[in-house]
Every structure is written in C-alpha cells, then in structure tokens.
C-alpha cells in the first residue's frame, strides 16, 4: 500500500514512538494517582511531555498544556469554554466540522452568533474581512491554521494581531499544522491552541491537547476525578487539572513525547522541506494533465496536500480505482469541510485529496502520478 492520507492520520509512526508506547504499557501506573513507582513513572513522563509541547509551540508554561483525546475534544473545550452565551464570533469558510459543529452547537444552545470570512473560488480568504465583521458583541475569532482540504496555510499571525487589537480571544485549530510547520503561540498571539497528536506530530491516536495563553481562563467542560483535592465538589481551579478529568492516556502521551523528540532531532524544517518537495513533485506531474482540476491557489503557502478532480468523475470512484487497482490510499468526498466545498463548487463531486508525510518517497509519488495519468486516459470517459 502507498499511503497518501496523512492529513487524516499518519500511518507510519517513528520506531521510537512505538517503542515508547510499549515501554509505557509495561511500566506505567496511573499518573497523579499516588506516589508509588508506577504512578510516578507515568507522572514524570506526562510532565516531560507537557514541557516538550509547551516548548514546541512556544506556550505559556507546562501547566497550561492540557491533554485531550484529540483535536476535536480540545476544540469543544476551547469553543464552549471561552465563548460566552449570546456573544458574536468570527470564523472562516475553511473550517473542519471539528470547529463548525461546536460553533453551531453554541449558536443553537447558547445564542451565539457566527459570521464566516468567506473563501473565494480558489479557497483563499481576504484578511480584511476579519476586521470588517467585528461588532461590539464580538468576543472571539476561531480559525484553522491550514485548510484540511486545500492545505492553504492561513496567516494566523496577521489574524492574531486583529484579535488582539479588538481584545478578542483567538482560538486556533492546528490539526493540520502541528508537526508540519512552526507554530509560535506568542508570536501568533494565540490564546487557545488546539492540536492533535496522530497527524503531523506522528504520535499515537487518542492524543491531542489544548494550550492556553496566560490571559485566558476557561470553564471546565469534562469534570470528574483528578486524584487531588478530592473533597472539592467542583473541578479544581489549577491548570492543567481544571481541564483534565479522569485517567489520562498515559501510554499514548508517552508515544507523543517520543514523537516530538523525533521531530526535534530530525528538524521541523527538514520534515517540512521534504513534505513540500514531495507535494511539489506530485503537483508538477499532475498539473499538466488537461483532465485534472486542482483546487486551491498554488502560489500560496500550503501544507503538503493536493486536492483535485478528474473531469466530472465522482471523487469516490477515482479514490476507489486508486485503492483497488493501484494500491494507493487517497481520500475522496467532503473531508468534513462543507463550507469550503461550497466555495470551491465541489459539493456533489467532492475532491480527491493526496496528503504527504515525511515517510513518503519520491518513488511513491512517481507511481501515484503515473496512476493518475492512466486513470485520466482510461476512466470516466
């Protein structure tokens, strides 16, 4: 199998990640539950992971790194915790349902009003629109760092400046960028950074987190056992405990910690350059094919994604041919990005998405490009 669905999850994990998970499964007690060897072993590894993640994203201290099961949980905590009822928020057409559905939930259950910065037919945003949409009731900007469909990377530093100028909470979904491009919470003026562990960070599934700046304090969403302050009827006020209830995924976090070591040792710039080179190699091959329409603006900064269609063919059909006839895994359909498909005009067709990882090879790219060429000639005619 040649795997090009790394924007959904990276299938190839560094060996050190797998080894760290195995080691954790052989040695970990329950972190923050007791002071015996097994519990301390888990607690130490998890605290080290917090420190690494804080450093990796230029955060505001290890205690402001909250572990979650995935980016979706982090976004639910952030959006429901930071946006007051009846407030107005600004988001974008580029969002994944992990942002959209929590926002719609707040609209339907808490009277929150939402405006979206529109994407044009190339999937680009116009940054002036953020400022134009601000009203007296606006309390937050929620946006992705990069589209999971076209790969377009947003200038979050620019959006962050707007958020700060108007004293708005700035919530960023880094699901597509964590581990793929540098993220600096302070420079980008991000208040709540939501990330997942199993995509660009190359860690285990079941990991992710939320980083809080020092100027936000949000209400707990999940409540329960914390191993400390057991006589309090409410969740303890101290971070990260305030936002973490129940046993953490210590085994997964150990793997995530090793994954960050791998990225730092390899170099985020090296990883980014390789992924970009693979993407560009594929792009150069398929852009010449007259049957292929590629989505997104090729001149913009992008994560390693190419989304395209072949004539009017259903993206699911193309993806199935790639899978069953060529052993190539790509992702068709809507990619949980309904608003961007509307902007691109691809609601009924969906799009075929290739997303590349550091562990893909040029040979795989060439095979995939050859497969797309063959399909262009033979299929859907």
Q: Which of residues 71-130 bind a second copy (CB under 8 A)?
A: 71-73, 75-76, 96-102, 104-105, 108
Task: Indicate the DSSP class of residue 146.
Answer: B
Interface region with a second copy, contact rule CB under 8 A, candidates 263-271, 273-281, 301-309, 315-323: 315-323
Residue 66 binds a second copy, judged by CB under 8 A? no
Nearest-Å Rg of the Cα atoms of the chain is 21
38/61 with CB nearer a second copy: 38
- The whole-angstrom separation of Cα 329 and Cα 318 is 11
CB of residue 288 to a second copy, shortest distance in Å: 25
Which of 35, 290, 299, 377 binds a second copy (CB under 8 A)? It is 35
Residue 70 binds a second copy, judged by CB under 8 A? yes
Sign of CA dihedral 52, 57, 61, 62: negative
The first and second tokens of residue 197, run together, are: 């562990």
Chain residues 335-364 in contact with a second copy, contact rule CB under 8 A: 335-338, 347
Chain residues 244-263 in contact with a second copy, contact rule CB under 8 A: 245-252, 255
162/202 with CB nearer a second copy: 202
Backbone angles phi, psi at 101, to 5 degrees: -65, -40
Residue 317 binds a second copy, judged by CB under 8 A? no
CB of residue 329 to a second copy, shortest distance in Å: 3
Which of 176, 207, 241, 291 binds a second copy (CB under 8 A)? It is 207
Residue 1 binds a second copy, judged by CB under 8 A? yes
The first and second tokens of residue 150, run together, are: 């076209």
Interface region with a second copy, contact rule CB under 8 A, candidates 47-55, 134-142, 269-277, 327-335: 327-335
The first and second tokens of residue 98, run together, are: 């992990």
18/273 with CB nearer a second copy: 18
CB of residue 224 to a second copy, shortest distance in Å: 4
Q: Is the peptide bond before 381 cis (omega within 30 degrees of 0)?
A: no
Residue 230 binds a second copy, judged by CB under 8 A? yes
**3-state DSSP assignment of residue 115:** strand
Which of 120, 214, 320, 366 binds a second copy (CB under 8 A)? It is 320
Which of 213, 266, 280, 323 binds a second copy (CB under 8 A)? It is 323
CB of residue 2 to a second copy, shortest distance in Å: 10
- The whole-angstrom separation of Cα 161 and Cα 124 is 19
Q: Which segments of 174-224 are extended strands (E)?
A: 192-196, 208-212
Q: Which of 200, 199, 361 is nearest to 278 (CA)?
A: 361
Query: What residues contact 206, with CB distance under 8 A and at least 6 apart?
Result: 69, 70, 197, 198, 249, 252
Interface region with a second copy, contact rule CB under 8 A, candidates 240-248, 264-272, 298-306, 370-378: 240-248
* Host H or E run for residue 338: helix 338-344
Chain residues 143-162 in contact with a second copy, contact rule CB under 8 A: none
27/213 with CB nearer a second copy: 27
10 near 244, Cβ under 8 Å? no
Q: Which of 263, 260, 250, 146 is nearest to 206 (CA)?
A: 250
């Amino acid at each position: 199998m040649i795997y090009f669905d790394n924007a959904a999850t990276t299938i190839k994990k560094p060996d050190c990640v797998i080894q760290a998970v195995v080691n954790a499964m052989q040695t970990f007690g329950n972190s923050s539950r007791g002071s015996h060897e097994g519990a301390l072993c888990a607690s130490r590894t998890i605290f080290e992971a917090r420190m690494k993640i804080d450093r990796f994203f230029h955060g505001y201290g290890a205690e402001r790194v909250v572990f979650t099961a995935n980016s979706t949980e982090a976004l639910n905590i952030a959006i429901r915790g930071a946006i007051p009822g009846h407030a107005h928020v600004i988001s974008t057409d580029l969002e994944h349902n992990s942002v959209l559905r929590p926002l719609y939930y707040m609209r339907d259950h808490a009277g929150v009003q939402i405006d979206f910065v529109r994407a044009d037919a190339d999937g680009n945003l116009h940054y002036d629109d953020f400022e134009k949409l601000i009203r007296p009731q606006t309390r937050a900007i929620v946006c992705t760092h990069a589209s999971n469909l076209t790969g377009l990377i947003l200038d979050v530093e620019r959006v962050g400046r707007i958020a700060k100028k108007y004293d708005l909470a700035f919530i960023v979904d880094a699901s597509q960028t964590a581990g793929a491009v540098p993220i600096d919470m302070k420079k980008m003026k991000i208040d709540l950074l939501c990330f997942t562990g199993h995509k660009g960070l190359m860690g285990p599934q079941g990991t992710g987190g939320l980083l809080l700046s020092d100027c936000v304090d949000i209400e707990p969403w999940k409540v329960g056992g914390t191993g400390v302050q057991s006589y309090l009827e409410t969740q303890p006020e101290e971070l990260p405990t305030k936002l973490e209830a129940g046993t953490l995924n210590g085994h997964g976090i150990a793997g995530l910690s090793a994954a960050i070591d791998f990225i730092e040792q390899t170099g985020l710039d090296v990883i980014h350059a390789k992924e970009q080179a693979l993407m560009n190699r594929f792009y150069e091959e398929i852009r010449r094919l007259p049957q292929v329409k590629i989505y997104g603006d090729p001149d913009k900064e992008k994560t390693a994604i190419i989304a395209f269609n072949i004539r009017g063919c259903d993206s699911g059909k193309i993806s199935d041919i790639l899978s069953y006839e060529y052993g190539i895994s790509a992702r068709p359909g809507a990619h949980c990005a309904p608003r961007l498909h509307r902007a691109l005009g691809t609601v009924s067709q969906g799009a075929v998405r290739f997303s590349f990882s550091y562990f893909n090879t040029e040979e795989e790219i060439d095979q995939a490009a050859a497969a797309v060429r063959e399909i262009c000639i033979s299929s859907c005619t």
